[in-house]
Structure 1
Amino acid sequence: MGPPVHAAAGRSEGTPAVTGTVDGGVPVGGTAAVAEDPHRWTPRLVTILIVLILVSEIIPVSAVLAGTALPTISAEYATTQAGWTMTIAFLTASIAMPLVGKLADMYGKKRLLMVVLAITVVGSLLSAVASSFPMFLLGRALQGAIFSVAFLCYSLIRDVFPEKIVPFAVSVTVTGTGIVVVLQPFLAGWLIDNHGVSGAFWFVTVLTAVLAGAALLMVPESPVRSSDSRPDLMGALLLGSSVAAVLVAVSSAPQWGWTSAGTLGLLAVGCALFAAWIVQAGHAPEPLVDLRKLRRPALLYTVLASGLVYGVGTTTSSILAIMAMTPREAGGDYGFGMTASEFAIFGVINGIGIVGGGLIVGLTVRRHGAKVHMVAAAVAIAVGALTMGLGRGDELLVLTATALAHLGVGLAGAAIPNLVIAAVPPDHQVVSASLTEVSRTLMAGIGTTVVFVVLNANIQAMAGGRPVYEGIGFQWAYALIATCAVLGGLAATRLPGRTGEPSTA
């Protein structure tokens, strides 16, 4: 997935209480700068920025490792439910991010950053030593907390850096160094091929622990506090439980039967909890997700497009590793028999596509508006996904198609914050951005579950505990992703013709 919208840091719409700068002074221009020359970079600022960039890069590193490892996870735990490796992390992320944002405003962004990193270390350790698939998934659920570090890092930069260098610092943190895009797929492949699933997650454990130590030592705490911010724990429980119940029912239905008591019972419980959440969200003073904001049509269509285009669009890579690493003699009309290391070329192409899409938006959004980019993203993802499904036996064609699809993901990810800025007034942008963030992470989890349901309905054999899918399963799975992209694109066409000024980050 692309970087989360940094505005989703969870700041309440009330005015935050500012307690002063790190050196005891008063913030200038709304930015609580560290005690440095406000007009130039210093070694301390550079060091802080490097640490925050590296902490933010834990998100794509762990995501690429998990996605590339899906075939190995499926074989190692002899399960057809490997898709939950991604789903459960997305699900916990979508619930955790609004809560972390609120708690960060109340207790300090660095403090919550350290809590999130500690939870991620524990989760990665559990996945590394897991002796069973449920234990592995528990670790992955805890690792979903890592998605919150993106907006925590952006917010720390905004609060503690000198105001004049904040835009550049945030932009660098969003895009990363560029080196990671090229190196992380090869790192993931090497780890998985040579050290297996356990080795991959031991790497994430050590990496996160080391960077947590660096952040503890080098990153100052933000002095900005919001005294009236209240986390919606009941809303988180209701929404998380409802979605989890429905997804477990849907993913288990091929084994249990769609009309079995277990499937129907879980679906009923999930729907009841979801209805209770809607009622609760309508009455809570500060709901987890403020559904009342969706009365504004521009924001409603932005949230729909974010989930259907970007969120579901990211699932193309979740099943690509399985398709590419299956031997042709097993797959029949698909499969390139790649090792995880050989699959790295797909990861590099995907990363370049995402970065390229972001650059296109940054260079042209003032002239064309973000609506055009979101519609273009929907078309690119739809065409790319359909081509991947129909041309699944041609490696070059699949490589080209995944590049196009991930160009679309990059376009959509960069368009979202600009669409939010145009859809709502400035004092509503934080809450509105959190809506799009929940939409796209939640839809990524739902999309992953559903495409694996489609695949699991088309298992032709089990080989070494790992399912071998029929080619038609991939065709239908990618067609489903394309359909969601088209629906999201149609929602985007309902947005205003020009979408205002672009985001500065």
Structure 2
Amino acid sequence: MSLNVESPHQENEAGKSGFGARFALILIALLWASQLNGLIGLMTSNAQSEIAIHYHTTQIAWFGQVGLLVGVFSTPFIVKAAGMFGKKRVLVVITALGLVGDVIAAFSTNFETLLIGRAVSGFYGPSIALVYALTRDVFPPKLVGPASGFLGGGMGVLAFGGPFLSGWVLDDFGYRGVLWFMVIATGISLLALLFVVPESPVREPRTPVDWIGGILLGGGLTSVIYAVGKGEAWGWTSGRTLGFIGGGLAAVVAFVLVERKVEHPMFPIGLIGRRRVWSTFLVAGLVMGAIFAQGTVTNLLVLMPHIPGLSDGLGWTATKNAWVSAPNSILLIATSVFTGVLARRIDTRVLLAIGGTLVALGGGLLSQFHSSVANFMTIGALSGVGMGIVVALVPIMVIESVKPEEQALGNGAQNLMQGVLQGALTQVAFVLVAQNANVMKGTAFYVDDSYSKALLLFAGVIVAGVLLIALIPKSKSLDEVETGQAVEATQAA
């Protein structure tokens, strides 16, 4: 049984004095759901060096990427189902699938089975899109901005507490402990969604599913990411590489043509074709995709062993990494919460440009200076402020760009764009990192110059995203858009 949202009297109190007990509880449950992917991503990122050494594999990139591929492919179908059958209901289903995948991974005894488990858990990938859509619907209008900013700032809470948690689990229980912790974390999220979060009343009409469009879009984008990941092994000009990339791009083009003709498209071209929508998604996808991809490479840098002549990793423990990144995380949390309030008064495009510039500057400096704790802490302070601004603004800018009934589709499209760019950037970064790799006993070790090139790649992509902010037209402010449908429904009842 789910808790109902506040009564009108309680809603008024929430608007005046804060979130109130029930809204606070709902916010915590949604925060856990929104950051579960990040928590699992952080822990798997920290564990990847130990897993690569344990299984003697040079293909460790797929440990993180296989779930992303499944998430990209399934996003169109999951978002469509959420719009028709209820965002909470579908969120519960994909969380349960994520739990099944985590259990498979935890019981795995070889690298192949481990990848199967990670693939199944990838169905949980689009969850963040549904969480933000629920936030728009179940909170009173005055709380949507702060709630969205808080959820975005949850990345800072994760970045602060996650490394300590990950360090404790990994250092004391090894990678197997990480896998079992993922099971526990997903189970907690499933229970919280079932018993705390209310369902949104916003629905799309129940129409036939555009299977062809979904397969073309999800399959085409997945094909491109997969080809980028295999390009180094297959050869960038090989028939297989060009076939997967060309076939994937052709599928996306076919998707656009199909969507113009079908009666009930998977992603209406009218929505994606609006300048405010596609420009916001493009900028957010580039900046956020690069930020998350950079985290994977940075964790590899600090946690891989330092072996002169073989590996230029820093050889830190996960716990040491947690202490070094803690000040950065605190700044991220504080900045994101403050940004959620500022977004009601200052043009979000200006704020995003400031945040993106700070993140890009931090990434560029880190590419050249990453040999000491002092480097990471001083540069991390700059990046932390910038990331706090960015992660708080992205969900708010999506709310400003779409109508209530388009929210799930809008979040899904933005999440899809971000996932594709994150996956492609991660694959390209691993190609750069592996160019001068040293392989010993089946495990790849990387040199400093390769890490620098990958970090510069991310900084350059973020700069490109900041420049493209000029394409985003001015739209309604957060105070002018329609929000709080669940609360309104309660008042009407």
TM range (shorter): 0.7 to 0.9
C-alpha deviation, 1:485, in angstroms: 1.2
Counterpart check, 1:227 vs 2:199:
no
- Alpha-carbon contact 1:22-1:222 (below 8 Å) kept: no
Q: Distance in 2 between matches of 1:495 and 1:162?
A: 27
Counterpart check, 1:477 vs 2:454:
yes
Q: Distance in 1 between matches of 2:76 and 2:326?
A: 31
Cα distance, 1:135–1:287 mapped onto 2, change above 3 Å: farther
CA RMSD in angstroms comes to: 3.5
Structure 1 segment 357-396 matched on structure 2, within 5 A: 357-396=335-374
Partner of 2:230: 252
Q: Distance in 2 between matches of 1:178 and 1:416?
A: 15
- Alpha-carbon contact 2:5-2:23 (below 8 Å) kept: no
Counterpart check, 1:67 vs 2:45:
yes
Amino acid corresponding to residue 474 of structure 1 in structure 2: Y
TM-score, scaled relative to structure 2: 0.83
Q: SS at the partner of 2:343?
A: helix
- Alpha-carbon contact 2:2-2:197 (below 8 Å) kept: no
Q: Distance in 2 between matches of 1:178 and 1:484?
A: 22
Q: Distance in 1 between matches of 2:288 and 2:47?
A: 22
Deviation by residue 1:52-77 (Cα, 9 ceiling, x = unmatched): 44344423321211221221232223
Counterpart check, 1:458 vs 2:436:
yes
Partner of 2:90: 112
Amino acid corresponding to residue 468 of structure 1 in structure 2: F
Structure 1 segment 16-95 matched on structure 2, within 5 A: 33=5, 38-39=10-11, 49-95=27-73
- Alpha-carbon contact 2:150-2:336 (below 8 Å) kept: no
Deviation by residue 1:302-333 (Cα, 9 ceiling, x = unmatched): 22211111212221111111111234443789
Partner of 2:17: none
C-alpha deviation, 1:158, in angstroms: 5.9
C-alpha deviation, 1:125, in angstroms: 1.3
2:100 pairs, out of 97, 107, 122, with: 122
Cα distance, 1:292–1:262 mapped onto 2, change above 3 Å: same
Q: Distance in 2 between matches of 1:291 and 1:202?
A: 42
Counterpart check, 1:201 vs 2:173:
no
Counterpart check, 1:274 vs 2:252:
yes
Partner of 1:502: 478
Deviation by residue 1:260-282 (Cα, 9 ceiling, x = unmatched): 34333333433333333332233
Q: Distance in 2 between matches of 1:65 and 1:130?
A: 17
Cα distance, 1:337–1:213 mapped onto 2, change above 3 Å: same
- Alpha-carbon contact 1:241-1:270 (below 8 Å) kept: yes
Q: Distance in 2 between matches of 1:486 and 1:69?
A: 30
Aligned identity (percent) is 29
Cα distance, 1:313–1:33 mapped onto 2, change above 3 Å: closer
Partner of 1:352: 330
- Alpha-carbon contact 2:156-2:388 (below 8 Å) kept: no
Q: Distance in 2 between matches of 1:182 and 1:456?
A: 29
Counterpart check, 1:490 vs 2:462:
no
C-alpha deviation, 1:357, in angstroms: 4.1
Amino acid corresponding to residue 290 of structure 2 in structure 1: V
Partner of 1:318: 296
Amino acid corresponding to residue 325 of structure 1 in structure 2: L
- Alpha-carbon contact 1:125-1:205 (below 8 Å) kept: yes
Counterpart check, 1:100 vs 2:78:
yes
- Alpha-carbon contact 2:156-2:332 (below 8 Å) kept: no
TM-score, scaled relative to structure 1: 0.81
My pick for the range that moved more, 331-340 or 179-188, is: 331-340
Q: Distance in 1 between matches of 2:130 and 2:430?
A: 32
Q: Number of residues paired by the alignment?
A: 475
Q: SS at the partner of 2:90?
A: helix
Deviation by residue 1:207-239 (Cα, 9 ceiling, x = unmatched): 322442354345555555433455443333222
Cα distance, 1:38–1:424 mapped onto 2, change above 3 Å: closer
Q: Distance in 1 between matches of 2:138 and 2:352?
A: 33
Partner of 2:490: none
- Alpha-carbon contact 1:120-1:142 (below 8 Å) kept: yes
Deviation by residue 1:120-139 (Cα, 9 ceiling, x = unmatched): 11111122222333332232
C-alpha deviation, 1:289, in angstroms: 3.5
Q: Distance in 2 between matches of 1:230 and 1:139?
A: 31
C-alpha deviation, 1:288, in angstroms: 3.5
Q: SS at the partner of 2:10?
A: coil
Higher helix share: 2
Q: SS at the partner of 1:80?
A: coil
